[in-house]
Amino acid sequence: MSPRYPLFPQKLKTILIRETIDFIKNLILNFSEKPFEEDVNLNLIDQSVNQENQCQRIVFNSSGSIMVSTNEKIIKIWNFNNGKIELLQNLEQHNGWFNCLIYSRLQDAFLSGSDDATIRIWKLKNNNSWISSLSYQQHTGRVQCLILNQNEDQLFSGGQDNSIKVWQLDFSNDKLIYQYSLDKHKCFVLSLSLNQSESLLVSCGDGDKEIIIWERGIQNGVQIYCQIIQQLQWNQTKVYKG
């Protein structure tokens, strides 16, 4: 049986919400009344790159020297130097448009999710070329979003099939190992986020207009995100316990 997790008493929740709103109001007021100490000047860099098709996503490596962008079914790798970009490589292994890219903070590698329902790992090899792993598929519709945990050993993917897939990630060996699925959404999963301690996973759907908060718990001796704390729909709150 799943463990039960107590929620904040309603009175305490109301006080916390009120204090948070007051804090935000004061922050906005102070910011609007405080004059800028110095002007910020932005200069337009006269460099444009034309492409015929849509660019859906752009990500950078941790140093800001490599930019990755999409062009429908193509991933473009760019050298990024002082705001100027130079095309290094085109990657064309996916069979559908790209919906999500996520770059590693720890190494020269990134992941992609596509309309073809697959996820790929891309790594920079010794010959300065980007190589793809095998394609990994558990979704039955397009992959909408991806997030990594801080250790970058676990990946979460949201899909058109209304599900969240949880994967064990091994960047060193270019492997994804499917672990389990979270299936409470009634429509596309559009976005995912972890809190700082990674004890909570938050997901939001498209047509169901829902935000679901998942709590990490223990099932059969293994830590998994299985316990729904709250399921929010517009201004209504549904609370589920184990």
Residue-by-residue pLDDT tens, the chain, 242 positions: 444 434 445 555 566 566 666 666 666 666 555 555 567 777 777 667 777 778 888 999 999 999 999 988 899 999 998 878 899 999 988 888 888 999 999 999 999 999 999 999 999 987 788 989 889 999 999 999 999 999 999 999 999 999 999 999 999 899 999 999 999 898 899 999 999 999 999 999 887 678 899 998 888 777 888 878 777 765 554 544 44
Domain of residue 122 covers 51-186
241 in a domain, yes or no?
Answer: no
Say how far apart CA 61 and CA 59 lie, in whole Å.
7
Question: Structurally, how many domains does the chain consist of?
Answer: 1
* 232 occurs within a structural domain: no
Give one word for 66, left, alpha or beta, with left for phi > 0 and alpha for psi -120 to 50.
beta
In a domain, 177, yes or no: yes
Amino acid 6: pLDDT: 45
Handedness of CA 218, 3, 188, 55 (dihedral sign): negative
12 in a domain, yes or no? no
Say what the pLDDT of residue 241 is: 42
What is the pLDDT, as a whole number, of residue 226?
Answer: 81
Q: Domain for residue 7, yes or no?
A: no
Would residue 91 count as lying in a domain?
Answer: yes
Report pLDDT for 161: 94
Query: Do the domain assignments include residue 201?
Result: no
Beginning with the edge strand found earlier in the chain, give each strand of the sheet holding 222-233 in spatial order.
Answer: 189-194, 200-205, 210-219, 222-233, 236-239
Instruction: Kindly state whether residue 79 falls inside one of the protein's structural domains.
Output: yes
Residue 69 token pair: 């962008």
Encoded amino acid at 225, one letter: Y
User: Which CATH number fits the domain that encloses residue 144?
Assistant: 2.130.10.10
